[in-house]
A and B are shown apart, each in its own frame.
Chain A
Amino acid sequence: MIEFKHVYKTYGTSSGSGQHTLRDVSFKIKKGEFIFLIGPSGAGKTTLFKLISAYEKISSGEVSVLGHNVGQLKRGQIPFLRRKIGFVLQSYKLLKNKTVFENIELPLIILNVNKEERQKKVSAMISQVGLTEVQDQFPDFLSGGEQQRVAIARALIHDPEIVIADEPTGNLDPELSNSIMNLFFKFSKSGVTFVVATHDYRLIKEPGCRILKVDKGELVEDHIL
């Protein structure tokens, strides 16, 4: 499903020399796995996600996602890869001029799903994440936890094969963080592969989860809880 083979990512500096953000990273993630990607800030977690979703190009090695060699994808093919991935980010990335319902509906509009089916799917998803009462509100009127639930609903509405969550609880208090993680565990039971980056080790408590630890750009730990 996701495979990294001896991946290096180097950012150029003004002096001309390169700085490694990822160094010889290799791992393989299978369908349905729940992965915690842990490590301190600046360890390279976000860079890893950017390589998976083709926001960055690798410097050397090979990244394969859902059978696509990401490094060889043409610009026009990248959106079609992203459609198979759901993204949950620390900053939520919700559109402020659209309601909760409309925000969750967006991926289905991009996939040209008909209106009737959209209504049905979005309503079901809103009920699953417990947002029924606020579905007609705009994101600015919601709490951080509610906004993140909207982002989760949006990430899952189009039945993606992988969900990438980059510090999803970074802006939330411990109680809300736990409720967000519980939502992730609930949806992972349907076979979706979750890769959750966090530096909050208290969230890692679900047995059977796999933990990948990166530090200074290197994969230093890979074990199952």
Chain B
Amino acid sequence: MKIAPLKISLFVIITLSILMIITSLLCYKNFIGLLSLWSRANKMNIYLKVDSTDKDKTDVLNLIQQTPQVSSAVVLDRQKAGLEFQNSLKNFSSGLITEDEMIDLIPETIEVDLQSSLTLTERETIFTELAKKMSANAQVDEISYSASWLKKLEFIDRILRSIGASVFLVLVTSISYLVALMMRSYVEDSKQEIEVYSLLGATRWSVYRIFLKDVFLFISTSLIIAFSSVLLIFTLLKNKLNTSGLFGMISDSLHFLSLTESISIVVLLFLFIFINSFFTIQASVNKLNQLSYD
């Protein structure tokens, strides 16, 4: 085997591996982002008893505010809510119920929202705890926050994380194996070069350096190509979604990896592949230690 095809194969393998990892992370980030978007729209409604006084309302509001993650707790206007509800039923029940009767049917409601930075799991946990605390209050009649949906989303998130971690492990193991395989062939193919360097008095480190220099170039170029490709495909896809009216809202919620996330991935992948390559080169070169000059 010639060195040039080996180098090309090694380069392609590293680039594709990095591309797969970045794409997986980007997909996970945006999928969770979309789920969180729905969960952020979901607020908790606390219905007070019909005979509750203003003091009761203030007590309940104070109790809610004790949870630091609560971003807002708003008392809804009963009359406004009643009118809106009546309007929505006007065509079906015109004159059936009067305004006063309607308002009596609507309880005092406090709408609670949480900080937007919270994850799905955190939202679900805080809402559950808050609901438990509120249920114990004598003035609270009923609580609604789509608990079952939140639980389902939290479950999906957990499953995705587990699958993501497993896929990441499989990918990383495959990359290690492939990079090691290619590096071993590369070193084996450069046997004559290593022999000459050794004959001329090159230390083992200077022999490693010859290969590590190539690996460094491969990884750097692969990272640039992989990142640019993913960014390009992502931008094109987002634009396409944006122009199609149905998915316009979704496209606004899609985001590329942040600078911190990108730098972390680059550093992690670079270190991982570089260290893996180093140990393979070291083992392969040491294997050729009994050099022949015949």
Q: Is chain B found bound to chain A in the same assembly?
A: yes
Residues of A within 8 A of B (CB): 46, 50, 53, 55, 75-76, 79-85, 87, 89-91, 93-95, 97, 106-107, 110-111, 154, 166
Give the distance in Å from the alpha carbon of A110 to the alpha carbon of B290 in the complex.
20
Instruction: Give Cα distance in the complex from A166 to B199, angstroms.
Output: 13
Q: Would A80 and B294 be within 8 Å (CB), given that A93-B196, A110-B206 are in contact?
A: no
Q: Is B1 an interface residue (CB 8 A)?
A: no
* B197 close to chain A: CB less than 8 A: yes
Asked if B293 contacts A82 (CB within 8 A), the reply is: no
From B201, B204, B294, contact of A82 by CB (8 A):
B201
| Residues of chain B contacted by A91 (CB below 8 angstroms) | 294
**B203, CB-defined interface residue at 8 Å:** yes
* Residue in A closest to B206 when the chains form the complex, CB atoms: A110
**Which residues does chain A contribute within 8 Å of B291, judged by CB atoms?**
55
Contact between chains at B201 and A93 (CB < 8 Å): no
Contact of B200 among A50, A81, A97, A110 (CB under 8 A): A110
CB <8 Å contact, B200 and A106: yes
Taking the closest CB of chain B, its distance from the CB of A66, in whole angstroms, is 13
Please indicate the chain A residues that have their CB under 8 angstroms from the CB of B193 in the complex: 95
B202 at the interface (CB under 8 A from A): yes
Q: Are A76 and B203 in contact (CB under 8 A)?
A: yes
The reply to whether A166 and B201 contact each other, CB–CB distance below 8 Å, is no
New A-B contacts (7) at CB < 8 Å, excluding given A46-B294, A87-B200: A75-B204, A76-B204, A80-B201, A90-B294, A91-B294, A93-B196, A93-B293
Question: B195 within 8 Å of A by Cβ?
Answer: yes
Name A's interface SS: mixed
Inside 8 A of B196's CB, which chain A residues have their CB?
A: 93-95, 106
Chain B contact residue count (CB 8 A cutoff): 19
- The smallest C-beta distance from B7 to any residue of chain A, in angstroms, reads 12
Whether A93 and B195, one on each chain, are in contact in the complex, defined by CB atoms closer than 8 angstroms, is yes
Select one of A46, A84, A87, A97 contacting B199, CB under 8 A.
A87
Please, which residues of chain A bring their CB within 8 A of the CB of B294?
46, 89-91
List which B205-243 residues lie within 8 A (CB) of chain A.
206
* Cβ-based interface call for B86 (8 A): no
B125 CB–A CB distance under 8 Å: no
Complex CA–CA separation, A76 to B203 (angstroms): 7
Q: Using a CB-CB cutoff of 8 Å, which residues 184-202 of chain B contact chain A?
A: 192-193, 195-202
- A to B CB contacts below 8 Å, 16 in the list: A46-B294, A55-B293, A75-B204, A79-B202, A81-B201, A82-B199, A82-B200, A84-B201, A87-B200, A89-B294, A93-B195, A95-B193, A95-B196, A106-B196, A107-B200, A110-B202
The minimal Cβ–Cβ distance linking A155 to chain B, given in whole angstroms, is: 9
What residues make up the interface of B, taking CB atoms closer than 8 Å to A? 3, 192-193, 195-204, 206, 290-294
Shortest 6 CB-CB contacts between residues of A and residues of B: A83-B201, A82-B201, A79-B201, A79-B203, A110-B202, A107-B200
Nearest B residue to A77 by beta-carbon distance? B203
Q: How far is the CA of A106 from the CA of B194 in the complex (A)?
A: 12
A110 engages B199 (CB within 8 Å): no
Cα A97 to Cα B294 with chains together (Å): 20
Measured between beta carbons, the chain B residues less than 8 angstroms from A84 are 201
Known contacts A46-B294, A55-B291, A55-B293; A93/B197 CB under 8 A: no
Question: Whole-angstrom distance between the alpha carbons of A23 and B277 in the complex?
Answer: 44
Q: List B contacts of A75 (CB < 8 A).
A: 204
- For A107, the chain B residues whose CB sits under 8 A away are 200-201
- Residues on A with beta carbons closer than 8 Å to the beta carbon of B201: 79-85, 107, 110-111
- Give Cα A111–Cα B134 distance, bound, in whole angstroms: 79
Task: State A90–B203 Cα separation when bound (angstroms).
Answer: 24
Contacts of A83 in B (CB 8 A): 200-201
Q: How distant is the Cα of A85 from the Cα of B202 in the complex, in angstroms? A: 12
A91 to B294, CA, bound (A): 7
For residue B204, which residues in chain A have a CB less than 8 angstroms away from its CB? 75-76, 79
- Whose C-beta in chain B lies nearest to the C-beta of A107? B200
Inside 8 A of A76's CB, which chain B residues have their CB? 203-204
A225 to chain B, nearest CB (A): 27
Q: Residue A110 contacts which of B3, B192, B197, B292 (CB distance < 8 angstroms)?
A: B197
Residues of A within 8 A of B200 (CB): 82-83, 87, 106-107, 110, 154
| Residues in A neighbouring B203, C-beta threshold 8 A | 76, 79
Contacts of A89 in B (CB 8 A): 293-294
